[in-house]
Chains A and B, each alone.
Chain A
Amino acid sequence: MAEPPRSGTQKLTLMALLTAMALGIFMLEAQLPSPVPIPGVKLGLANIITLTAMLLLGRKEAGAVLAVRILMSAMFAGSPSTLIFSAVGGTFAYLVMCVLTALIPEKRLWVTSAIAAVAHNAGQLLASIWVVKTPTLWVYAPILAVSGLITGVFTGLAAMYLIRALRRLRR
């Protein structure tokens, strides 16, 4: 579905709004206790916003929203030692999204989202192995892949409903 064009100001406003939402969601999720005691397993709700930005605005805009969210969340959540993990994971997920949104139709956005979530976890794991120089951490790979698939399907479905609702608003 082609998006009706937006003016520069409309784009900028929507980007700012989505960035604020992503940051809020990210901070909220950080306050929730982890559902399972496995490092790296998380809901990844902010992924909903990255997907929404990519489909409503485009790749470049989604990249900007993601980059600002990652940098600001490191500032607000105050953990510079974990910034590298979110940055690498986010970049991996973003690249996968860029490719797959062109290949997989929007009605199966949940597939794109799940694969992107797995890529995020893979990137995070690789960054962790590199930082702590402990290759045995690869044993986390299978469970992080499963976690990415499951959470990715749900964030993808959430993004589909959000995109639908936001498009309805413009009509």
Chain B
Amino acid sequence: MDKKTKIWILVFVLLCAVGVGAFLLLRGDREGTVAVISVDGEELDRIDLSRVKEPYDIEVHTGYGRNLVHVEPGAISVTEADCPDRICVSMGRLQGGGIPIVCMPHHLIITIEGGEIDG
């Protein structure tokens, strides 16, 4: 193995370590309780998860397909989807800030923001 190959391997390993570290740090962020469901950047619903008492489901129909969003006290998840990859379902429950749930084929995003909502 020549020197340049070793340098590239070292650079890649370091970059991977930095990337994984950054991802874990971002995912650990648990700020905020307000879930925002949006499609194509248009907000469909805004729910304060800290005020949810009973779990319920929301059906989201868009021009791209259907997702079933499950809302429960303190958490939100996608439980059913008719998209081809169903990654949004396997992402599990979102409990705070961190990494948004994404269903890319349906352009659906669920983020959690800080702050309160009125009413």
List the interface of chain A (C-beta within 8 A of B): 30, 34, 37-40, 77, 79, 81-82, 85, 108, 111, 114, 128, 131-134, 136-137, 139-140, 142-143, 145-146, 149-150, 153
Question: Given A39-B88, A82-B105, A132-B40, 18 other A-B contacts at CB below 8 A?
Answer: A34-B90, A37-B91, A79-B84, A81-B106, A85-B104, A108-B4, A108-B5, A128-B104, A131-B40, A132-B38, A132-B39, A132-B107, A133-B41, A142-B26, A143-B19, A145-B15, A146-B23, A150-B16
- Can you list 11 A-B contacts (CB < 8 A)? A37-B92, A77-B84, A114-B12, A128-B104, A131-B107, A134-B109, A136-B111, A139-B100, A142-B20, A142-B21, A146-B15
A43 to chain B, nearest CB (A): 13
Minimum distance in angstroms from B23 CB to a CB of chain A? 4
| In the complex, chain A residues whose CB is within 8 Å of the CB of B56 | none
- Residues of chain A with a CB closer than 8 A to B38's CB: 132, 134
| Nearest residue, chain B, Cβ from A137 | B100
Given A38-B87, A136-B100, A153:B12 Cβ within 8 A = yes
Interface residues of B (CB under 8 A from A): 4-5, 8, 12, 15-16, 18-23, 26, 38-41, 64, 84-85, 87-88, 90-92, 98-100, 102-107, 109, 111
A149 interface neighbour in B4, B16, B64, Cβ under 8 Å: B16
Nearest-neighbour CB distance to chain A for B63, whole angstroms, equals: 8
Q: Which residues of A contact B4 (CB under 8 A)?
A: 108
Do A140 and B12 touch across chains, with their CB atoms under 8 A apart? Answer: no
Q: B residues within 8 A CB of A38?
A: 87, 91
Q: Indicate the member of A132, A143, A150 with the most B CB atoms within 10 Å.
A: A132
Q: Is the CB of B87 within 8 A of A39?
A: yes
Are A137 and B109 in touch, CB under 8 angstroms?
A: yes
Give min CB distance, A33 to chain B, whole Å.
Answer: 8
Please pick, from B8, B16, B39, B87, the residue contacting A146 in the complex, using a CB distance under 8 A: B16
> Given known contacts A108-B5, A142-B18, A142-B26, is B64 in contact with A81 (CB within 8 Å)?
yes
| Residues from chain B with Cβ under 8 Å of A128 in the complex | 102, 104
